[in-house]
Amino acid sequence: MPGIAAARPEDRPDLLRSYATIYLEEEIRREGLVKDWGAFVRFLELAAAESGGILNYSSLSKESGVSVATIKSYYRLLEDMFIGFSVPAFSGGTRKYLLSTPKFYFFDNGVRNASAGFEIGPSIVRSQSGPLFEHWVGQELWKRLGYLNRGRLFHYRTKGGAEIDFVLEKDRQYIPVEVKWTKHPTGSDARHVESFLQDMGKKATSGFIICRCEKPMQLTDHVKAVPYWWF
């Protein structure tokens, strides 16, 4: 958020924590959207800690002590307040064993970390480099599709464990995007993307690995690794 980025580094953790508690509480209470604030706070911490993963409503319900129906309504509330966005599961292929559960991402990594109660500072980048990087790429893709006002964003995962972080649908074509923290991607990093391309045929002709490589690299005939700063 611009206000956080413009603040002094030593002030940013407290500002993020204040946003994640005081601001959200004021907004939610003003609208009368949540009856049990304590339950929502427990949910918010769990949802932030698990953001980017496939949603497990039953597990969140047990841990937070509220019903599955309430958990789903809380997620809808986060979307309505632009705190986060859901990424539905891809279902346009021919595979019969695709998972159908969505993922959920917070709109800002700092807000996500503060809401989860994580330490805010350089150390979290070292301990959660992969998840934070995936979040950032997802946020950028989601925002750019919003700016274009066309296209949709999905995630892809089979029950067998094959996974692609994001699949963009645009102009009736699909573009698989895998996110890797590595600086030195190899062909093995592209195996799930290649499998997806083979499955989709003419509907998907190329894919990408977003990583920290210094320059674009052609990993396979149809999969290219590109540096994150291309965004």
Cβ(115)–Cβ(44) below 8 Å: yes
The predicted structure's pLDDT at residue 230: 82
Helix (H) or strand (E) holding 125: helix 122-127
Q: How far is CA 206 from the centre of its chain?
A: 22
Residue 118 Cα distances to 23, 43, 74, 179, angstroms: 18, 15, 21, 22
Instruction: State the pairing for strand pair 103-106/84-87.
Output: antiparallel
pTM to 2 decimal places:
0.88
d(CA 85, CA 182) in angstroms, rounded, equals: 26
d(CA 154, CA 49) in angstroms, rounded, equals: 21
Helical ranges in 7-118 per DSSP H = 12-18, 24-31, 37-49, 57-64, 68-80, 109-116
Per-residue model confidence as pLDDT tens for the chain (231 residues): 677 777 787 788 788 888 777 777 777 777 667 778 788 888 989 999 999 998 999 999 998 888 999 999 999 989 988 889 999 999 875 555 667 889 999 998 988 998 888 888 788 888 899 999 999 999 999 999 999 888 999 999 887 778 999 999 988 899 999 999 999 999 999 999 999 999 899 999 999 999 999 999 999 999 999 999 886
57-64 and 68-80 helices, crossing angle to 10°? 100
The predicted structure's pLDDT at residue 101: 87
User: Is the Cα torsion angle 159, 164, 165, 170 positive or negative in sign?
Assistant: negative
Domains of the chain: 2-230 (1.10.10.10)
The predicted structure's pLDDT at residue 94: 53
d(CA 29, CA 25) in angstroms, rounded, equals: 6
Beta-sheet strands, E only, within the chain: 84-87, 103-106, 152-157, 163-170, 173-179, 207-211, 217-218, 223-227
Cβ(156)–Cβ(90) below 8 Å: yes
The predicted structure's pLDDT at residue 137: 96
The predicted structure's pLDDT at residue 32: 66
The predicted structure's pLDDT at residue 219: 96
d(CA 157, CA 89) in angstroms, rounded, equals: 8
Q: Which residues have CB under 8 Å from 109's CB, separation 6+?
A: 132, 135, 136, 139
The predicted structure's pLDDT at residue 28: 72
d(CA 81, CA 144) in angstroms, rounded, equals: 19
The predicted structure's pLDDT at residue 97: 61
